[in-house]
Chains A and B, each alone.
Chain A
Amino acid sequence: MLEVVNLSKAYNVGPLGKEKFYAVDNVSFHVADGEIVSLIGESGSGKTTIGKMILRLIKPTGGKIIFNSVDIQSIKNRKEYYRLVQGIFQDPFSSYNPIFKIDRIFEMIREEFYPAITKEEWSKRVKKVVEDIGLNPSEILGKFPHQLSGGQLQRLLIARALLIDAKFLVADEIISMLDASTRIDVLNTLIKLKEKGLSVLFITHDLSLGYYTSDRTIILYRGSIMEYGDTVKVFKKPLHPYTKMLLESVPTTQKVWSNSYISLHGRNVLPSFCKFYDRCPLGDSTCKNVSFEKFEESHFVACVKVTGEGEHVA
């Protein structure tokens, strides 16, 4: 359904913008019909940038995004595209225009996508979908954004995406503001929609959420993919040192939490070196020109230190 090919986004930095900073560096992956793919990475790894490029809010500087075998940059009619590809943003507070009531985000959809539906019919639909995400429509509708909590606003954004009935959803940290009890409802809603054929790019920094929802996992670090594959395989047999570090840094109840990977070695990442070189405990001069190696069926890793058995060369 959606294919990302050698996607890059470079920003000019430094004096006179001579140097380039790659927020997203040569990223390729695909999302099939009815599949949830989670994009996991720490802050600043380029997750949101990838999401925004798919939503055509940021222009890529390299590579392309192909949706239903059409390059999205060549689609002139944006409305047609957004009818099929939708997004939910990270920050619910800034996603609403503060001077208007929240109902406007639903009304906007009716005006742009479903002008044939009457207002009465539409408000019935809105009420239904607001109930579906566990909110009381009579309490919520007609309020201003500042009168609602972050969790309520975020769930309304999810309701908005459901109303459009899109085929592909970019879900950028959609449950960051929700409490544990409502989180699982929202995730289950996503999984239910997936079974109806919705594809989701699930952007998160929370490993357990990624594990719970997604079919496949992509581990991103500094704009590059480190490892990707079936979620179960990646979590069961993490190959890349960074993936291992991420999994070890999930606090568990059974042991005292310690993290040996977090320390920086003070090395600089040189061009053509692995992006994780500066923090990797195994990093040495051989960590150059890394490419993806197939470790097993649908499980790939970009690390020169991984042996055929999934162990690391010291």
Chain B
Amino acid sequence: MSEILFFALRNKKLKAGLSIVLFFVLLGLFGPLISKYKDPLEYVGPGYQPPSKDFWLGTTTFGQDVFTQLVYGIRSSFFVGLVGGGLATLIGLSIGFLAGYRGGLLDEMLMMLTNILLVIPTLALLIIIAAYLPYRGVLIQSIIIGFTAWPWTTRAVRAQTLSLKAREYVNLARISGRSTLKIIIYEIVPNMLSYVFMVFILQFGGAILAAVGLDFIGLGPTKGISLGLMMQNAVLWNAIQLGMWWWVIPPGLVITLIVGGLYFMNVGLDEVFNPRLREM
């Protein structure tokens, strides 16, 4: 374990990705405390204001503070990532592990369900579900995303389990007198652990992007603010045409940086967990 930590601390990609993500986590946590205005939707000043001492990232057409909106938006994005991505990872892992390890009829049934969900376009499903909800909050949105994002994880985890189950070292552990439970814990799970971790990171980023997509087409939270909602409003009120770069660029940039940072972490972690990919 200490060895993994050693390689993790040495890995530049992981460090870069983690720094970016951590920066935004801190901004999301403490941003609302340091910003001058407490409500992201409150009209606090004149509209069309470029960044200044009073409005750090300028104001919207209606005079809302963009910085306040941004930090609250980051909060909701991380929330969606955590709940949506977490849920998708959990469902995907449980079904994938069960199907792969048990096999047989159970495997066939679970995979049929997975395949059906896999071929339905997720966005269309999300639109239908979101459109019928009278009230949409960030939590509901996260749950919808979580329940639709798991199939690829299931397929990948099942394949991994099937392959790990048949490895010769599992047989070697068996003839070394290891019990089945110990084999699962000491031989199969450690090989899956890095994968599970990376799946979570990918699902985290995926959930954030899915939420932004929903927000942007107008199916975002009916109350509150999110990064996607900010972008939708900016586009709706012709911020680009009016030259209000301070309204358009920050949310897009933050989303790109967060998701990009997560992918960097993913690549770095791959190298940390897989000795073969390490740069010696």
Q: Interface 1/0s, chain A 37-52, versus B by CB < 8 A?
A: 0000000000000001
Chain B residue contacts of A94, Cβ below 8 A: 167-169
Question: Which of the residues B178, B194, B276 comes within 8 Å of A108, measured between beta carbons?
Answer: B178
Establish whether residues A83 and B177, one from each chain, have CB atoms under 8 Å apart when the complex forms: yes
Establish whether residues A97 and B191, one from each chain, have CB atoms under 8 Å apart when the complex forms: yes
Asked whether any CB of chain B lies closer than 8 Å to the CB of A273, the reply is: no
A30 to chain B, nearest CB (A): 21
8 Å CB interface, B261-279 against A: 273-276
Question: Which of the residues B167, B177, B276 comes within 8 Å of A112, measured between beta carbons?
Answer: B177
Establish whether residues A108 and B169, one from each chain, have CB atoms under 8 Å apart when the complex forms: no
Give the size range of B's interface with the partner: 10 to 19
Q: In the bound complex, what is the Cα–Cα distance between A109 and B187 (angstroms)?
A: 14
Asked whether any CB of chain B lies closer than 8 Å to the CB of A207, the reply is: no
B175 to chain A, nearest CB (A): 5
Asked whether any CB of chain B lies closer than 8 Å to the CB of A244, the reply is: no
Establish whether residues A146 and B275, one from each chain, have CB atoms under 8 Å apart when the complex forms: yes
8 Å CB interface, B15-59 against A: none
Asked whether any CB of chain B lies closer than 8 Å to the CB of A235, the reply is: no
Chain B residue contacts of A78, Cβ below 8 A: 174, 177
Asked whether any CB of chain B lies closer than 8 Å to the CB of A287, the reply is: no
8 Å CB interface, A63-89 against B: 78-79, 82-83, 86-87, 89
Q: A97-B187, A97-B190, A146-B275 are in contact. Are A82 and B175 (CB under 8 A)?
A: yes
Establish whether residues B172 and A89, one from each chain, have CB atoms under 8 Å apart when the complex forms: yes
Question: Which of the residues A82, A91, A109, A144 comes within 8 Å of B168, measured between beta carbons?
Answer: A91
8 Å CB interface, B120-170 against A: 167-169
Establish whether residues B273 and A89, one from each chain, have CB atoms under 8 Å apart when the complex forms: no
B195 to chain A, nearest CB (A): 11
Establish whether residues B174 and A57, one from each chain, have CB atoms under 8 Å apart when the complex forms: yes
Q: A144-B275, A146-B275, A146-B276 are in contact. Are A95 and B172 (CB under 8 A)?
A: yes
Establish whether residues A108 and B176, one from each chain, have CB atoms under 8 Å apart when the complex forms: yes
Asked whether any CB of chain A lies closer than 8 Å to the CB of B254, the reply is: no
Asked whether any CB of chain A lies closer than 8 Å to the CB of B171, the reply is: yes
Q: Interface 1/0s, chain A 261-302, versus B by CB < 8 A?
A: 000000000000000000000000000000000000000000
Chain A residue contacts of B177, Cβ below 8 A: 78-79, 82-83, 112-113
Chain A residue contacts of B194, Cβ below 8 A: 99
Question: Which of the residues A86, A97, A99, A144 comes within 8 Å of B175, measured between beta carbons?
Answer: A86
Establish whether residues B174 and A96, one from each chain, have CB atoms under 8 Å apart when the complex forms: no
Chain A residue contacts of B187, Cβ below 8 A: 97
8 Å CB interface, A90-117 against B: 91, 94-100, 105, 108-109, 112-113
Asked whether any CB of chain A lies closer than 8 Å to the CB of B196, the reply is: no
8 Å CB interface, A107-129 against B: 108-109, 112-113
Q: In the bound complex, what is the Cα–Cα distance between A55 and B171 (angstroms)?
A: 9
Chain B residue contacts of A79, Cβ below 8 A: 177
Establish whether residues A95 and B275, one from each chain, have CB atoms under 8 Å apart when the complex forms: no
A11 to chain B, nearest CB (A): 15
Chain B residue contacts of A108, Cβ below 8 A: 173, 176, 178
Establish whether residues A99 and B171, one from each chain, have CB atoms under 8 Å apart when the complex forms: no
Establish whether residues A105 and B275, one from each chain, have CB atoms under 8 Å apart when the complex forms: no
A51 to chain B, nearest CB (A): 11
Establish whether residues A105 and B168, one from each chain, have CB atoms under 8 Å apart when the complex forms: no
17 extra A-B contacts, CB within 8 A, seeds A94-B168, A96-B172: A55-B175, A57-B174, A78-B177, A79-B177, A82-B177, A89-B168, A91-B168, A95-B168, A97-B187, A97-B191, A100-B190, A105-B172, A108-B176, A109-B176, A112-B177, A112-B178, A113-B176
Interface residues of A (CB under 8 A from B): 52, 55-57, 78-79, 82-83, 86-87, 89, 91, 94-100, 105, 108-109, 112-113, 144, 146, 157
In the A-B complex, the 3 residue pairs with the smallest Cβ-Cβ separation, listed nearest first, are: A112-B177, A79-B177, A94-B168
